[in-house]
Amino acid sequence: MNTTEINSSEENIKYKYCVSVKFKGSKKAYNFGTDDDSYKYGDLVVVETVRGLELGELISDVRDADTHQIDVALKPVLRKATTEDIRQNEENLSDEPELLKKCQECIDQLALEMYLISAEYTLDRSKVIFSYVADERVDFRELLKLLAATFRCRIELRQIGPRDKAKIIGGLGSCGMETCCSRFLDDFDIVSINMAKNQLLALNTTKLSGQCGKLMCCLKFEDEAYKKLRVGLPKLNASIIYNNERFRITSMNLLNNSARISNKENAVDLTIDELKEVLAANKKEKKISKGNK
């Protein structure tokens, strides 16, 4: 049997070993099965994925599949990449700009409202995958016909969201570093405005949004730390008694361990620890007052 043709029955085959494979443009690793224990970390291999034949890099040594309790059906590692596989992959990469150019010409010809992001061949050039973003649903049936006639292979048009687009294109975030999505994030979690509230940030969506136009991902993975720092602290503008005067909490900076309370006459800067002591004293006085009634 040709190694590029995988019989559907092979999906149920259990392999003795498993390896982790990473693909171009992705930080995420995927598990594949093999009965060959000669594969080593860093090897380039050819595997069959849902997209077709792809060249990937091993980011693990061979591991025992049973020991690691791999329950899902694994697709196989077909072979270690040959010189021809590597040459073909390099040729495919060099042809991507031309793919984009020709596809864009077809999009312009049909006046379709879609923004082309990327184009890539599968390793054996049996399929071209185009990724795009669009505000509305696009009827690309005519586009498929044009592309199939142009490239004479299977065509896959894949609509992606604005966060995926930002990940592919990359750029610098407001922190001055490469955007998190293109640097290390593989999956996108839900980011809510409550996470900005937990960090006591001004709810300015323009400043809180990343290049994708969505709330910045860093709000999500910083959220748990801020939740812990805010334990026992009230909301902003809460009323407290300090030195027998009524104040409101006008600002808190959890990272700098500072807070400010103010009224019409005075403004007082406290540390977060001092503020907690004032809150504890207020709570104690309230209990005493209730007891005296």
Is the pLDDT assigned to residue 283 strictly greater than 60?
Answer: yes
Residue 222's pLDDT band (cuts 50, 70, 90)? confident
Residue 209's pLDDT band (cuts 50, 70, 90)? confident
Q: Spell out the domains of the chain, with CATH numbers in brackets.
A: 8-81 (no CATH), 87-160 (3.30.300), 166-229 (no CATH), 239-292 (no CATH)
| Residue type at position 82 | T
Is the pLDDT assigned to residue 138 strictly greater than 50?
Answer: yes
Instruction: Give whole-number Cα distances, 4 to 24, 76, 155, 257, in Å.
Output: 20, 11, 18, 61
pLDDT of res. 8: 42
Q: Which residue has the higher pLDDT, 12 or 29?
A: 29
Residue 45's pLDDT band (cuts 50, 70, 90)? very high
Residue 7 sits at the vertex; the CA angle it makes with 131 and 89, to the nearest 5 degrees, is 40
Lowest model confidence (mean pLDDT) among 25-29, 67-71, 193-197, 249-253: 67-71
Do residues 116 and 132 make contact, with C-beta atoms less than 8 angstroms apart? yes
Residue 2's pLDDT band (cuts 50, 70, 90)? very low
* Alpha carbon distance 102, 206 (integer Å): 35
Q: Which residue has the higher pLDDT, 277 or 5?
A: 277
Q: What is the pLDDT of residues 224-262, one digit of tens each?
A: 888 888 888 888 888 989 988 899 999 888 888 889 999
Give the chain's mean pLDDT.
83
